[in-house]
């Protein structure tokens, strides 16, 4: 497989982190976003429209004696591409594969790392949830990805995070925190203490419309809690990392609070969920990618929850 290394000048454009040294394994790219930390940015494709197993951000943190992977992609093939790209950067052993939550675009690359014999790490509820959804997700992967999907078996965590734990990579400490019900009920964040870089998983989206599966009020509360601490860099689950947390967190909070308010008003006025799908948070439409399809799904989740307030 042909690989090449391209260099890109350091700089910041529109507040987003753009300095990097791209490392390519075929057409799969890792970008160095700060010292010892690399991110692969997935494409903004919907799971029902053009999904290819590579739509979320994947992180790599390199210490003195080991590597941690944060989310592994949506298929074994994507995980293999990630592993090949890592090997262009470092020969160190992969100590941990950390899954930030249960969704298949973040977890089905786990199978590619079995030969590395890492610890698989996740929220205390992740393993059971992965097993409960195993048949559903594996059928979905096979339908969407064919042979690649069939090879993408469910690999559950062997290390569970109940509240928080610290992992060591040799001169580099990672703080993992289990979060309350928010994007899902299996959300986990990872903080690299050396650089104050936070991997937020799908608690945070940038550019791409945020997704709510768990509880919108819980998600708002978790984001507000995260925002009480200052970070040098935040890496969302989808979209570009940002040094300005007032922008990256503020944008999502604005959308979520608008959605919450609009759905409550619709319920008070007796407007149906179907009509609310077309009207709720409509002022946000031009601010996000994949807005129409993702926002309708969010209304479908949130509306029934708020009917019981």
**Residue count (the chain):** 309
Range of the domain at 177: 3-244
Is 301 inside any structural domain? no
Please, are residues 259 and 298 in contact by the beta-carbon 8 Å criterion? yes
Q: In 3D, which of 184, 118, 194 has the Cα closest to residue 157?
A: 118
Is 252 inside any structural domain? no
CATH number at residue 157: 3.60.15.10
Specify the number of domains making up the chain: 1
3-state secondary structure (DSSP) of residue 300: helix
Which pLDDT score, from 0 to 100, does residue 22 have?
A: 62
Strand 94-98 and strand 164-168: the pairing is: unpaired
Which pLDDT score, from 0 to 100, does residue 146 have?
A: 85
Q: What are the helix (H) ranges across the chain? A: 76-87, 104-107, 126-132, 134-145, 147-150, 216-226, 245-269, 273-279, 291-306
Is 30 inside any structural domain? yes
pLDDT tens for the chain, 309 residues: list them.
333 333 333 332 333 343 445 665 557 899 999 999 999 999 999 887 778 899 999 999 999 999 999 999 999 999 999 999 999 999 999 999 999 999 999 999 999 999 999 999 999 999 999 999 999 999 988 888 888 877 889 999 999 999 999 999 999 999 999 999 999 999 999 999 999 999 999 999 999 999 999 999 999 999 999 999 999 999 999 999 999 999 999 999 999 999 999 999 999 999 999 999 999 999 999 999 999 999 999 999 999 999 988
Which pLDDT score, from 0 to 100, does residue 23 have?
A: 61
Is 46 inside any structural domain? yes
């Amino acid at each position: 497989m042909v690989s090449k290394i391209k260099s890109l000048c350091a700089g910041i454009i529109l507040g987003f982190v753009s300095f990097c040294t791209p490392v390519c394994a075929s057409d799969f790219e890792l970008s160095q976003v700060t010292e010892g930390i690399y991110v692969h940015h997935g494409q903004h494709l919907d799971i029902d429209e053009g999904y290819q197993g590579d739509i979320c951000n994947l992180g790599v943190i390199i210490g003195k004696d080991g590597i941690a992977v944060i989310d592994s992609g949506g298929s074994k093939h994507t995980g293999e591409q990630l592993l090949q790209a890592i090997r262009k950067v470092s020969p160190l052993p992969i100590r941990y594969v950390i899954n930030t939550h249960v969704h298949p675009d973040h977890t089905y690359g786990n199978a590619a790392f079995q030969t590395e014999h890492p610890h698989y790490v996740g929220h205390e509820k992740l393993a059971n949830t992965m097993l409960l959804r195993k048949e559903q997700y594996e059928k979905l992967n096979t339908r969407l990805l064919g042979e690649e999907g069939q090879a993408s078996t469910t690999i559950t965590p062997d290390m569970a995070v109940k509240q928080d734990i610290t992992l060591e990579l040799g001169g580099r400490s990672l703080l993992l925190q289990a979060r309350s019900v928010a994007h899902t009920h299996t959300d986990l964040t990872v903080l690299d203490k050396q650089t104050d870089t936070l991997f937020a998983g799908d608690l945070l989206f940038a550019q791409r419309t945020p997704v709510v599966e768990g509880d919108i009020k819980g998600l708002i509360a978790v984001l507000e809690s995260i925002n009480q601490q200052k970070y040098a860099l935040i890496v969302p689950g989808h979209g570009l990392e940002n040094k300005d947390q007032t922008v990256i967190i503020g944008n999502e909070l604005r959308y979520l609070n608008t959605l919450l308010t609009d759905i409550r008003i619709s319920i008070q006025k007796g407007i149906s969920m179907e009509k609310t799908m077309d009207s709720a948070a409509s002022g946000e439409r031009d601010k996000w990618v994949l807005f129409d399809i993702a926002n309708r799904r969010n209304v479908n989740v949130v509306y029934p929850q708020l009917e019981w307030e």
